[in-house]
Structure 1
């Protein structure tokens, strides 16, 4: 099961995110899928909202690629660490295209039942992403602002 589970969860970053094959979502994610995304006020999300989430980022970074750095699996759970890279050439959450090339690390944990992903927890360096886009100042500047009160 471990090898099959690793192959299954790799399809998410490799086919869904890098290739942009959002139709794969219906193949690998259960109809009852739940996405836990702590940075979102709408957390948790379902399979259709996950598709919209992917499409939002793929339209903002049309050359988006995900490199899988590590995958481990045990029981019904797999954890995956990745690095996403792309050029900001489309609007993202109200931020107009900057043309900036970004590299963002992240991790996901998947729970699998009957050969389908039923639950996923995702976390990526959102602060780093927006700093690379120039939307947020460097941490040093934020620190100085905080000290000034």
Structure 2
């Protein structure tokens, strides 16, 4: 068992180094093999389409080897995405929740969801009640 603090550090590094930093070479040190291949296949084209994407970690909470992260993502689509050319359109503070589990010291499974709902009166991403 890697433990929750170790898993939090892995998640924080994945956000900082891979998503924000675009360092696909860091994937092998952070993710188990099968999960690394999946991650690389999704991160590389996303970073090409949104090269200056930034993710704010609002909170990481966990138990055992599993961590759930509340994240906010912002970026501008300057490159091709899903077969469509860049638009220059920006998105800001898209809320995301991801759950990740570590096994043998590396992130091994995960999944998440995001919302683009901007209901009137909703607080900005990261705002506390």
Q: TM-score normalized by structure 2?
A: 0.81
> RMSD of the alignment, in Å?
1.6
Q: CA deviation at 1:32?
A: 3.7
Q: Is 1:120–2:110 an aligned residue pair?
A: yes
Q: CA deviation at 1:97?
A: 1.2
Structure 1 segments unaligned to the other structure (5+ residues):
34-46, 130-149
Q: Which residue pairs with 2:121 in the alignment?
A: none
Q: Which has the higher contact order (CA 8 A, sep 6+)?
A: 2
**Equivalent residue in structure 1 for 2:50, among 52, 61, 64:** 61
Distance across 2 between alignment mates of 1:108 and 1:31: 19
Q: Which residue pairs with 1:81 in the alignment?
A: 70
Q: CA deviation at 1:54?
A: 0.2
Q: Is 1:31–2:21 an aligned residue pair?
A: no
The list of structure 1 runs, each at least 4 consecutive aligned residues, that deviate by more than 4 angstroms after superposition, is none
Q: TM-score normalized by structure 1?
A: 0.71
Structure-to-structure mapping, 1:130-141, within 5 angstroms: none
